[in-house]
Copies of this chain bind each other. A is one copy, B any other.
């Protein structure tokens, strides 16, 4: 019984972290997605993490994704690392040359993929049409799953319209597949779609925890320097306890995410529930971190000039993406308690 990264894992994560520390500073984050950085990430293997070795990838699983996505969240890197993994999982279910081409391009870092899955979506509202697709604004390939059909849309062929969102780094865009000419959609097994959703939830969970840790570090530093009433605000109990609760939430979410990756990689019967639990804990922890870190920063945290804002925006978007905490909590509830009770039918 062991629950934690191996030495190899640690090493890989350290490499990616070091790369991003150098190449993805807050100033870089403000400049948004960078193809150059994507290529550098590809060199470490990050973009082909779940692409099979046959197609030039590393052929790894959710465990590796967790380590890498956490590094991405910590650096607030705009590049779609989780989407690359999900895209690889979807394309692996497709028996066609065009899948192989894109898998190779993903692993090589010559293509960027965006993905739209029917995840987290029983709720409507917020206007007509479908939810915009993250990273589609600069993707080379958009994968749109519609029921069991996978639309493989090269950006050149699809009708893609950028949309403003709370996090400018997300590259949100509307993707209109009705205008798509070219090749017909591919039929996927339901299992492939389901697992892709779990993988996205696990990756996003790890990313959120990385972001939460980054915000906590920023805020601890600020609270140790900023003085009011003659002493550092971090010496006040109210501030201490806010931030202690953030650390507790992050620390307890972490093993839940590690376990979900293990269950995914080993096809355990609990894999779906474990992925859902991971997203619940990570979304809640990151939301708490965002809220408390902004409160401790005060007005300065409310401005564009403060680096905190980069992570705040990432968390606001990502905590709801891939299914929010309520969606996944309901999934765990259905598994644990059976379907929600209903009034008797007439």
Is there a chain B Cβ closer than 8 Å to A237's Cβ? Answer: yes
Any B CB within 8 A of the CB of A241:
yes
* 9 residue pairs A–B, Cβ–Cβ below 8 Å: A236-B237, A237-B237, A237-B238, A238-B238, A238-B241, A340-B343, A342-B342, A345-B345, A345-B346
Inter-chain CA distance A241–B241, complex, in Å, is 11
Residue in B236, B241, B343 whose CB lies within 8 Å of A342: B343
Q: Does A128 reach chain B (CB closer than 8 Å)?
A: no
Interface residue A339 (Cβ < 8 Å from any Cβ of B) = yes
CB-CB nearest in chain B for A238: B237
Question: Chain A 218-246 against B: per-residue CB contact (8 Å), 1 yes, 0 no?
Answer: 00000000000000000011100100000
Distance from A106 Cβ to chain B, minimum over Cβ atoms (Å) = 39
- The answer for the CA separation of A261 and B296 in the assembled complex, in Å, is 41
What chain B residues lie within 8 Å of A340 (beta carbons)?
343
Q: Which residues 295-346 of A sit at the B interface, judged by CB distance below 8 A? A: 339-340, 342-343, 345-346
Contacts of A238 in B (CB 8 A): 237-238, 241
Contacts of A236 in B (CB 8 A): 237
Q: Chain copies in the assembly?
A: 2
Please tell me the number of chain A residues within 8 Å of chain B, measured between CB atoms: 10
* CA distance in complex: A18, B278 (Å): 57
Which B residues lie within 8 Å of A339 (CB)? 343
Inter-chain contacts of A343 with B (CB < 8 A): 339-340, 342
A345 to B340, CA, bound (A): 13
Q: Which residue of B lies closest to A345 (CB)?
A: B345
Q: Convert A235-266 into 0s and 1s, putting 1 for each residue whose CB lies closer than 8 angstroms to a CB of B.
A: 01110010000000000000000000000000
Give CA–CA (A343, B334) in the complex, Å.
13
* A342 proximity list for chain B (CB < 8 A): 342-343, 345
Residue of B nearest to A237 (CB): B237
The docked-state distance in angstroms from the alpha carbon of A161 to that of B3 is 55
- The docked-state distance in angstroms from the alpha carbon of A241 to that of B245 is 15
Interchain nearest-CB distance for A151 vs B (Å): 29
Please, which residues of chain B bring their CB within 8 A of the CB of A241?
238
Distance of A231 from chain B, by nearest CB (Å): 12
Q: How far is the CA of A342 from the CA of B339 in the complex (A)?
A: 11
In the complex, residue of chain B having the shortest beta-carbon distance to the beta carbon of A239 = B237
Given contacts A237-B237, A342-B342, 8 further A-B contacts (CB under 8 A): A236-B237, A237-B238, A238-B238, A238-B241, A340-B343, A342-B345, A345-B345, A345-B346
Within the complex, what minimum Cβ distance (angstroms) separates A340 from chain B? Answer: 7
CB distance from A259 to the nearest CB of B (A): 30
**Complex CA–CA separation, A340 to B237 (angstroms):** 42
Q: What is the distance, in angstroms, from A308's C-beta to the closest C-beta of chain B? A: 23
Q: Measured between alpha carbons, how far is A237 from B241 in the docked complex, in Å?
A: 10
Chain B: minimal CB distance from A261 (Å): 32
- Distance of A54 from chain B, by nearest CB (Å): 44
Contacts of A345 in B (CB 8 A): 342, 345-346
- A238 smallest CB distance to B (angstroms): 5
- Least distance between A343 CB and chain B CB atoms (Å): 6
